[in-house]
Homo-oligomer: A and B are copies of this chain.
Amino acid sequence: MSGPADLPGLTGLPGLPVPLAQRVRERQGDFLLFALTPPRRTTAPEKVAEIAGRTLARLAPLDLDGVLLYDIDDESDRTDQERPFPFLPTLDPADYLRDHLGAAGLPAVVYRAVGKYAPDELGAWAAAQDPTDVLSVFVGSASRDTPVRTTLPAAHALRTEAAPDLLVGGVAIPERHTRRGDEHLRMLAKQASGCGFFVTQVVYDVNAAKNLVSDYRYACLEQGVEPVPVVFTFSVVGGVRTLEFLRWLGVDVPRWIANDLTHAHDPLQASHEHSAAAARELLAYAHASGVPVGLSVESVSARRVEIEQSVALAHELRSLLG
């Protein structure tokens, strides 16, 4: 409270939520995002506007801190298994935001699959963003064999140069931590190259998520680094096909949950309950451990019932954040 005439800073204004970028910068968690995949590239422009309008109407009651916009890449070179849903190129998330979602005034976290862009293009985009409203997540390629136009380290170097104020996050994968045990060190390395937050893929294995938070926390303590927010993503599953798709994406679903979803009369409702319980457990753990944690909800499939249930899940997660 050192402003002129004791005017409170933005953070201190009672009743006004702290904007996402400021929260992340101040290393606060407890925010809620909704993750969207832009419409397919083949969608007619008037149809895109209609989809965007319907999406914003759905999200309006949620009191979100922001939206997250995925930059979908064909990840079929990541695995030999057949993709359960076909890959269809989608609109550029930055274009979709600018042309269709900007009016809502919601902060946005725009993913960049950096390998898809030339360095100039990526740098120019980063420099053109208003860092109070736009954040980004830089994602490297899914496999070493994918030809890339910009590597992840190059993208971070570019950003530091061209857009020093743009908050950029990285991907953190609890499942990779289960296999290799060093994801917390990767996070610290990414943090050193400029990541100000992390986002996970969909979480069903809370134990793996807690392992990562814990190892990250103690590594931060050891290295004298302050932990940055980690955004955990949750989603519902409407049936066996979506469950298979989650697995194809690399999501570990514990057997007991997979069994429940496979046998449930209403898998959508059952997965909603599992996800809400997982989020609750993870939040309680994060609060106790001092690592700032945010929540994100996505609809893995494009089926209307799954989208609507995801919105209901976001409603419930909002209530967990008080």
Contact = CB atoms under 8 A, between A and B. Distances in A.
Number of copies: 2
Interface stretch (A99-107, A115-123, A252-260, A302-310): A252-260
A210 interface: yes
Interface string A199-242: 00000011100110111011000000000000000000000000
A211 B263 contact: no
A216 to B, nearest CB: 10
A57 B210 CA distance: 39
A214 B274 CA distance: 14
A259 B218 contact: yes
A254 B210 contact: yes
Interface residues of A, number: 18
B215 A259 contact: yes
A277 to B, nearest CB: 10
Contacts of A215: 255-256, 259
Contacts of A210: 254, 256
A186 to B, nearest CB: 15
A33 to B, nearest CB: 24
A207 B259 contact: no
B211 A255 contact: yes
Contact of A214 (B211, B259, B285): B259
Interface string A176-194: 0000010000000000000
Contact of A263 (B218, B254, B256): B218
B207 A260 contact: no
Contacts of A214: 255-256, 259-260
A207 B254 contact: yes
**Most B CB within 10 A of own CB, among A207, A213, A254, A263:** A207
A259 B213 CA distance: 11
A260 B210 CA distance: 11
19 contacts: A206-B207, A207-B207, A207-B254, A207-B256, A210-B254, A210-B256, A211-B254, A211-B255, A213-B256, A214-B255, A214-B256, A214-B259, A214-B260, A215-B255, A215-B256, A217-B259, A218-B259, A218-B263, A256-B285
A-B residue pairs, 4 tightest by C-beta: A214-B256, A210-B256, A211-B255, A207-B207
